[in-house]
Structure 1
Amino acid sequence: MQIRYFLALSLLPQLVMANEADTTTVENTQCIIEPPVKPYVPLYDLSNPVDLERISIVSDSSEAQMGKQAKFNGNVSFSQGGRNVEADEAILDQEAEELAANGNLVFQDTLFTVTADSLVAKMRTNSAILLGAKYWLNGQQINGDASKLEITKDNNLLLSKTNFTTCPPQSPSWLLEADEIKIDSTEEWGEIWDAKLVVGGVPVMYIPYMTIPVSDKRKSGFLFPSFSTSTTNGVEVEVPYYWNIAPEYDLTFTPNYMSNRGLFTKTEFRYLGGEQQQGQLNFEFLADDDKLTNSPNRYLYHWEHSGAINKNWRVQASFTDVSDNNYFNDLSSDIQNTTDNQMTRIGEITYFEENWDIGARVQDIKVLGEETRPYQVMPEVTFNYRAPESWHGVDFKLNSEITNFSHQDSDYSTATRLHIEPSISYPIHGPAGSITSEVKLLQTNYWQDDNSGLADSKLEDSVSRTLPQVRVHGQINFERFTNYFNTNYRQTLAPQAQYLYVGYEDQSNIGIYDTANLQDDYNGLFRDRRFSGLDRIADANQFTLGLTTKLFDEHNKEVFKFSIGQILYLEDSRVALYDVNSSVDAFVQDNTSNSALAADIRTQLYSDWYFSGSIQYDAKESENKKTEVSIDYRPGENKLLQTSYRYVPDLLNTNTNESVDIKQTGLRAAWPINDGLYVIGNWYYDLNESRSVETYAGFQYESCCWAVRLSYHYRIKTNYVDEGEPVNDTRELFESGVYLNFVIKGLGGSGTLGVSDMLDDGLFNYRKPLYLKN
């Protein structure tokens, strides 16, 4: 017989525990540990206050005495709101306002599930005690045991003689055993006393007191340390400390001891400026580098800020400075990589409207290891206006700027530049193709102060340059269904052509302030500029012809793409980056009747094999100007084999003003040995120098509850000469090191380990190993 009781008043306390689970989504659903019982589904609408107070009791049999006791036996189910108690036996004492239950006891709510030997709930004090408890956080990995689990009147949770883990209960790789754990439901943090960390059944650490997060709230405390050893820094031990100052401020302080150099400290302060602005401050410091003779203090300071003031105003700022040129080469900074040798300092504010925007910017670039310093932008004001389809489908645009160029060295020329660029264009688009006609007027004025002191300098105090530009670009789209190798495809063919005319004017009387050569590739064939910046605008009278064809399979997935094109010069351009007859020793681009033939290809060779490459070939001189190719085998997630090659001749070395050739080949691999163990490695070889430039090998094991990575790195170093550095301080050309990272998930670790970041670790990142910055 089943008997149901529905009471209007609550007879049970609010057995609500703190939200002790980290509310972030677990990416691997296989790691979610399910309790041994089905999730509890509330019987009533929890948004209704009356239903929240309603109690339902179901049992096979019952004995009740009004106002005193009610006994329930057999498959007892006691539900109230979002909570449910199931047991073999339950006694409801209305005089003592107490509920006792035992026998196959299960306590559940929307947050957690607990099995226990017995339960006693006291309604006067709003408390409950469960003995012999095992608990699981619903939808999470956290689970554990407790000899006694107590829910206090403040809805806090006290666990005695307890443990917890994020591993499966049947095979816990690690456990945190504690004499007592208190979980505060208000602060949503756990306090642990007299604990020890057990890994693989072996105690490895004793912790008299610690705190851990049980939700997504932040709290001060130590993060997991990391260990490494290298030929340059020796043994490194890094122990971060996190300080949760306020909801909108926090700070991470990381002392990093290096046996070869000393104590290196890193401090990061983060802040929120309202709902839409954020920023951070970094300070790094190493006093008296033991590896350098008479070393000065080495330091870095960095500030960045970005965000929106309101729906129209945007701000951005960034500033970084270091004590010496080799700072990033020698020390593991949190701000930039060892391959970065430029630090951009910028401050910008912009106001946006639908059809126009105005902005102001200051900029300074510090280049490490080079004597020549770039110009500073102090300041630049821009105004842009857009009027699409302003008259019969004609688009009108106006781009303008006024920029002041200053320099830290007094013997460099300075200038103020005003540039106004109105344009009108008439685009016609359709399924069969498109054609866009555009006319621009490029008006630039310079006011220059020539401080170079060169007798043959051609710089003029005032220069006005007016250049017309006409550009017509058209493309035709063809499509057909075809069959290759007994497979159906949809093939597209898109020939395109462009005519570009830019007027000529002698520009040798203008200095070089922010202009450089643009890198050549297939897409660059259709640019309307040969140089970045505005100090040189190359004259042009040329046609560009290009062709792109693609293949799509039956699932509309692109499996092949090939593009080829070339510029045909009707007249040779007479504008070079520098005047050929000037005293400036710099790279000058040669003029030819046509550009190099540029081609790009990307294709799925077969099944999981992919090929990509690009080439620039000078047919007139029969010379290879640039080649980049890679072959990938990607049969599945985190499975990769790649080989690559790149060749770039006559690349300018800005330190020596000499041209060098780059000829390198590389191998990269990532492969799972089993479900949790991966091996990752890469090797890049310089064919000109007949030496390895980088070798990386790493093993990573990751389970649901912990991860470990052991890696070896050997790479070439970019060493610069620092001012005042003793000559007898020799620097290694190559650096090698062994690195160990260990994360126990669920104990507030500083992050997770992944295969993707190992592929990006090093001088050559995956998917961009052939990237070349001229």
Structure 2
Amino acid sequence: MRLTPRLFQPASPCVRYAVLQCLALCGSLWASMALAQEPSDPLALQPSPVLSEALSPQQRREAPVFLQGDQISGRSDLETVVQGDAVMRKADTVIHADRLEYDQPTDQARAIGHVRINRAGNLYEGPLLELKVERFEGFFQQPVYHFANGDAHGEAARAEFQDENHTVVFDATYTTCRRLPGPSWMPDWVLRAASISLDNDEEVGVANGAYLYFKGVPILPVPAISFPLTEKRKSGLLPPTFGIDNISGTTLAMPYYWNIAPNLDATLTPTLMTSRGVDLGVTLRYLEPSYNGRVVADSMPGDKLRGLDRWGLAWTHNATINSGLPNISPVGLALNINRVSDDNYWRDFTSSEAFLTQRLLPADALASWSSGPVSGTVHVLKWQILQDPASPIVPPYDRLPQLTAHTGQSNVQGFDWALDGDFTQFEADRVLTGQPNAQRTFALAQISRPWLAPQGFITPKLQLHAAAYQFDGLLADGSQSATSVVPTFSLDSGLVFERESTFLGRNYVQTLEPRAFYVYTPFRNQSNLPNYDTGVADFNFASIYSENAFVGHDKISDNNLLTLGLTTRFLDPDSGSQYARFGIAQRLRFDPQQVTINSAASPAQSGLSDVLLGAEVNLNDRWTLDSTTQYNPLTDQSVRATVGARYNPGSYRVFNAAYRYQRAFSEQIDLSWQWPINDLWGDRGRDMGAGRGQGEGRYYALGRTNYSMDQGKLIDTLLGVEYDAGCWLGRVVFSRTQTSTSTAVERWIFQLEFVGFTRLGTADPRATLTQNISRYQNLRDAGGASKSRFSNFE
């Protein structure tokens, strides 16, 4: 007898369960509609177990079995045979076959001919399947498989299902290369193994007796290797990395990742350097509810380059400690420790962590707390200075310790006020600094009364800066202490005008924003005060409207000046986004400046200052221009200038250019780019989405050059090529970094990335590319849309 396709439920308990599920869903919908009618919370929603992402074991066990096919025969509650386009469904498992036999008492299914099984998105196809459906135990003969996570696939002689999350495939292959039509197709890379165990609980695969083939050539024998099925962390050997540079020679690293606990892991990295010896690196990360941190350490005994034992340590730690006091917030603790073995570490370990390749290494601890409007900190800071005889550094002062307090309020009867206090013990080598160490205490009181309106603002402000010093030696005038009290008055004001305008057929809202800022600070003689933390503020659009020409608290500049500025903006009338901004500002100094940062510095004279000119233009989504110029109208020359441009017409296409000039100091051109080379012959690629590249078979040019025009040579250079083959990526990059006027580090960076499996070559060159090329995009980014059981329905 031939039947038309229909659904069949072999067991009455299953029917009852399906009816109950239907009633539960209807009840949930009715409750949601009833709640939606409540005026107190019209948007209230109730969760429904029917829509939960994961099925519970009870739901799987009680889920009904649906059978469909051309012919169905059998005995109720015993066995069922379906022939012709047979389909069996239970929970998130779907089986297709030419013939399907299901024995209900044992929950045993046997599928024959063109068998296809979909288990939560993982697909298996082959000639024969025997399976206990609920326990998902059984075997599959000669399966071809495709996994939802990672888009990987392969084939095997046999697959054994141990349970719903554990499968072993024998004489198996594994690849992420897209299968192409035709019997002669071979993947660019494939892992061939005697067996592959797939553990979906741990989201890891383990291959035994395996070889990694690339372009048909075995390149990596792996008697036993584990690899991730998702981005979940797992313990095991990471891919080896290698590199070449002119200091260490050829380097080979074999990192091991140890997933100690969900909140604790470590990476151990022994590295062989042919010109220097063996280095052992350790990275430890920890995360707790009240604290977290990261430790990076490395050790190289008997470095042949310097004949020394070399080491480096970087430790960051953040914690929150309950104070146990009423009305006192938890105490925040932050540690940042950076130390290395010797002065040449920064130039010999250029591939180490960035915070260990600098010449000033801080070690500091900071504790902070607050209670209402009052807050305070305790700070301890000690520097390690890596000296170079060719370019010595005057050491900054250690702070042993620094105590700060702050309190203030806004809009108290229209007034804003604040009070800051600081006590610091400054210590450094007096032979190098040329001045005594000291204890400095200062207080800064400020009060202002802002009047704000849509059409403008005006803010008068008073502040008083008082400082006292106690030195550990005598000053030039024979004193061992000093004090300073400096008052300041400022008046900041501005207006905002708007009008509608049209340019090049586009509508804009144009603003005109004049601003006037006056500051008066009377002269107080501070020439006898040493300098511990004060420097000259950079001359820009932020500092030109500030009260003090210095940053820090040892010197307060005397001022009697007026700053006038004008800014105009072009805004989108609908979104408010800014298309362009142009600004100009200049100071008029009524009295010459007398307080300078030191005796060698030249004070500012009365009259007009240099003019600041700034412009930022967003021509469209592709072009961005930015420029700032400091212009001297007396000499008719630019003192400093920075001009930058970015062309970013789409994904993986960016070109950055910058020109930086400072008269009598430097003049540089900086270029960086990422661009598909295929554009040269008209292959424009296609939008594959974020982190997916622009299609297979495409090359990308990468680079950055920093050229010094005054020295007539390249300072830093990075040139490279990336190739996207779809299931694998290739990268070759040359990097040259200047470490002094006469020395540079040159490195070759190689990487072969087998997408969804592993990487071979230099340790992640993408970090170097991201650091050097603004808006660089990785050809493959981890993550993406999560897999849902509702998207796997057949």
1:116 aligns with 2:126: yes
| Distance (Å, rounded) in 2 between the aligned partners of 1:550 and 1:145 | 62
The aligned amino acid for 1:577 is I
Q: Could you tell me whether the CA contact under 8 Å between 1:224 and 1:743 is conserved in 2?
A: no
What's the secondary structure of 1:104's corresponding residue? Answer: strand
| Distance (Å, rounded) in 2 between the aligned partners of 1:397 and 1:206 | 68
What's the secondary structure of 2:346's corresponding residue? Answer: helix
The aligned amino acid for 1:313 is V
Cα displacement string for residues 459-478 of structure 1 (whole angstroms, at most 9, x for unaligned residues) = 73232322212121111111
Paired position in structure 2 for 1:283: 297
| Distance (Å, rounded) in 1 between the aligned partners of 2:116 and 2:158 | 15
Q: Could you tell me whether the CA contact under 8 Å between 2:149 and 2:229 is conserved in 1?
A: no
Could you say if the C-alpha distance between residues 203 and 756 of structure 1 is closer, same or farther in structure 2, counting changes exceeding 3 Å?
Answer: closer
Shift of 1:605: 5.2
2:361 pairs with 343, 349, 355, which one? Answer: 343
| Distance (Å, rounded) in 1 between the aligned partners of 2:720 and 2:731 | 7
1:334 aligns with 2:352: yes
Paired position in structure 2 for 1:383: 405
Q: Could you tell me whether the CA contact under 8 Å between 1:174 and 1:197 is conserved in 2?
A: yes
Q: Could you tell me whether the CA contact under 8 Å between 1:680 and 1:758 is conserved in 2?
A: no
| Distance (Å, rounded) in 2 between the aligned partners of 1:397 and 1:161 | 74
| Distance (Å, rounded) in 2 between the aligned partners of 1:167 and 1:758 | 27
The aligned amino acid for 1:525 is I
The aligned amino acid for 1:219 is K
1:316 aligns with 2:334: yes
2:250 pairs with 225, 228, 235, which one? Answer: 235
Paired position in structure 1 for 2:595: 575
Shift of 1:50: 5.7
Cα displacement string for residues 351-403 of structure 1 (whole angstroms, at most 9, x for unaligned residues) = 1344232111111233333353211111111111121122x211221222221
Shift of 1:344: 2.0
1:107 pairs with 92, 117, 122, which one? Answer: 117
1:620 aligns with 2:646: no
Paired position in structure 2 for 1:496: 515
Cα displacement string for residues 247-270 of structure 1 (whole angstroms, at most 9, x for unaligned residues) = 332221222222222223322122
1:191 aligns with 2:206: yes
Could you say if the C-alpha distance between residues 242 and 124 of structure 1 is closer, same or farther in structure 2, counting changes exceeding 3 Å?
Answer: closer
Could you say if the C-alpha distance between residues 288 and 605 of structure 1 is closer, same or farther in structure 2, counting changes exceeding 3 Å?
Answer: same
| Distance (Å, rounded) in 2 between the aligned partners of 1:556 and 1:115 | 55
Could you say if the C-alpha distance between residues 162 and 307 of structure 1 is closer, same or farther in structure 2, counting changes exceeding 3 Å?
Answer: same
Structure 1 segments unaligned to the other structure (5+ residues): 12-40, 581-585, 651-660, 720-731, 769-774
| Distance (Å, rounded) in 2 between the aligned partners of 1:715 and 1:462 | 47
Q: Mapping of 1:325-474 within 5 angstroms?
A: 325-336=343-354, 340-369=358-387, 370-390=392-412, 392-409=413-430, 412-450=435-473, 457-458=476-477, 460-474=479-493
Q: Could you tell me whether the CA contact under 8 Å between 2:383 and 2:398 is conserved in 1?
A: yes
Pick the structure with more helix per residue.
2
The aligned amino acid for 2:718 is Y
1:266 pairs with 267, 281, 285, which one? Answer: 281
Could you say if the C-alpha distance between residues 284 and 123 of structure 1 is closer, same or farther in structure 2, counting changes exceeding 3 Å?
Answer: closer
Paired position in structure 2 for 1:564: 584
What's the secondary structure of 1:525's corresponding residue? Answer: helix
Could you say if the C-alpha distance between residues 359 and 111 of structure 1 is closer, same or farther in structure 2, counting changes exceeding 3 Å?
Answer: farther
1:680 pairs with 702, 705, 716, which one? Answer: 702
| Distance (Å, rounded) in 2 between the aligned partners of 1:10 and 1:148 | 33
| Distance (Å, rounded) in 2 between the aligned partners of 1:752 and 1:734 | 20
Shift of 1:97: 4.6
Shift of 1:183: 2.5
Could you say if the C-alpha distance between residues 280 and 757 of structure 1 is closer, same or farther in structure 2, counting changes exceeding 3 Å?
Answer: closer
Q: Could you tell me whether the CA contact under 8 Å between 1:3 and 1:60 is conserved in 2?
A: no
Shift of 1:497: 1.0
RMSD between superposed Cα atoms in Å: 3.1
Structure 2 segments unaligned to the other structure (5+ residues): 16-49, 181-185, 323-328, 679-693, 777-794
1:296 aligns with 2:308: yes
What's the secondary structure of 1:140's corresponding residue? Answer: helix
Shift of 1:616: 0.7
Cα displacement string for residues 678-737 of structure 1 (whole angstroms, at most 9, x for unaligned residues) = 101222222222222222210012344322210112342227xxxxxxxxxxxx523333
Could you say if the C-alpha distance between residues 592 and 132 of structure 1 is closer, same or farther in structure 2, counting changes exceeding 3 Å?
Answer: farther
Shift of 1:552: 2.5
Paired position in structure 2 for 1:36: none
Shift of 1:576: 0.7
Cα displacement string for residues 393-432 of structure 1 (whole angstroms, at most 9, x for unaligned residues) = 1122122222121225588522222222222221222211
Could you say if the C-alpha distance between residues 475 and 48 of structure 1 is closer, same or farther in structure 2, counting changes exceeding 3 Å?
Answer: farther
Q: Could you tell me whether the CA contact under 8 Å between 2:751 and 2:759 is conserved in 1?
A: no
Could you say if the C-alpha distance between residues 126 and 602 of structure 1 is closer, same or farther in structure 2, counting changes exceeding 3 Å?
Answer: closer
What's the secondary structure of 1:689's corresponding residue? Answer: coil
Cα displacement string for residues 156-186 of structure 1 (whole angstroms, at most 9, x for unaligned residues) = 2111111222222336321111111123354
Could you say if the C-alpha distance between residues 57 and 43 of structure 1 is closer, same or farther in structure 2, counting changes exceeding 3 Å?
Answer: farther
Could you say if the C-alpha distance between residues 334 and 378 of structure 1 is closer, same or farther in structure 2, counting changes exceeding 3 Å?
Answer: same
1:690 pairs with 703, 712, 720, which one? Answer: 712
Shift of 1:550: 1.3
Q: Quick check: 380-389 or 283-292, which moved more?
A: 283-292
| Distance (Å, rounded) in 1 between the aligned partners of 2:734 and 2:360 | 27
Paired position in structure 2 for 1:148: 158
1:130 aligns with 2:150: no
Q: Could you tell me whether the CA contact under 8 Å between 1:42 and 1:81 is conserved in 2?
A: no
Shift of 1:194: 0.5
Cα displacement string for residues 528-580 of structure 1 (whole angstroms, at most 9, x for unaligned residues) = 221121011111111111111112346644222111101211222211111x2
Paired position in structure 2 for 1:208: 223
The aligned amino acid for 1:204 is I
Shift of 1:207: 0.9
TM-score for the superposition, normalised by structure 1: 0.84
| Distance (Å, rounded) in 1 between the aligned partners of 2:11 and 2:677 | 60
Paired position in structure 1 for 2:239: 224
| Distance (Å, rounded) in 2 between the aligned partners of 1:509 and 1:667 | 46
The aligned amino acid for 1:613 is S
Cα displacement string for residues 126-170 of structure 1 (whole angstroms, at most 9, x for unaligned residues) = 612122222222253222222222111585211111122222233
The aligned amino acid for 1:620 is L
What's the secondary structure of 2:395's corresponding residue? Answer: coil
What's the secondary structure of 1:509's corresponding residue? Answer: coil
Could you say if the C-alpha distance between residues 469 and 43 of structure 1 is closer, same or farther in structure 2, counting changes exceeding 3 Å?
Answer: closer
Paired position in structure 2 for 1:306: 318
Paired position in structure 2 for 1:638: 652
Paired position in structure 2 for 1:658: none
Paired position in structure 2 for 1:25: none
Shift of 1:498: 0.7
Q: Could you tell me whether the CA contact under 8 Å between 1:144 and 1:169 is conserved in 2?
A: no
Could you say if the C-alpha distance between residues 95 and 252 of structure 1 is closer, same or farther in structure 2, counting changes exceeding 3 Å?
Answer: closer
| Distance (Å, rounded) in 2 between the aligned partners of 1:752 and 1:65 | 64
The percent identity for this pair of structures is: 25
1:55 aligns with 2:62: no
| Distance (Å, rounded) in 1 between the aligned partners of 2:549 and 2:453 | 30
| Distance (Å, rounded) in 2 between the aligned partners of 1:289 and 1:442 | 52
Q: Quick check: 561-570 or 140-149, which moved more?
A: 140-149
| Distance (Å, rounded) in 2 between the aligned partners of 1:379 and 1:286 | 33
Shift of 1:517: 1.5
Paired position in structure 2 for 1:745: 755
1:65 pairs with 54, 60, 75, which one? Answer: 75
| Distance (Å, rounded) in 2 between the aligned partners of 1:428 and 1:178 | 75
Could you say if the C-alpha distance between residues 750 and 531 of structure 1 is closer, same or farther in structure 2, counting changes exceeding 3 Å?
Answer: farther
Paired position in structure 2 for 1:479: 498
Q: Could you tell me whether the CA contact under 8 Å between 2:116 and 2:126 is conserved in 1?
A: yes
TM-score for the superposition, normalised by structure 2: 0.82
| Distance (Å, rounded) in 1 between the aligned partners of 2:52 and 2:561 | 77
| Distance (Å, rounded) in 2 between the aligned partners of 1:532 and 1:667 | 32
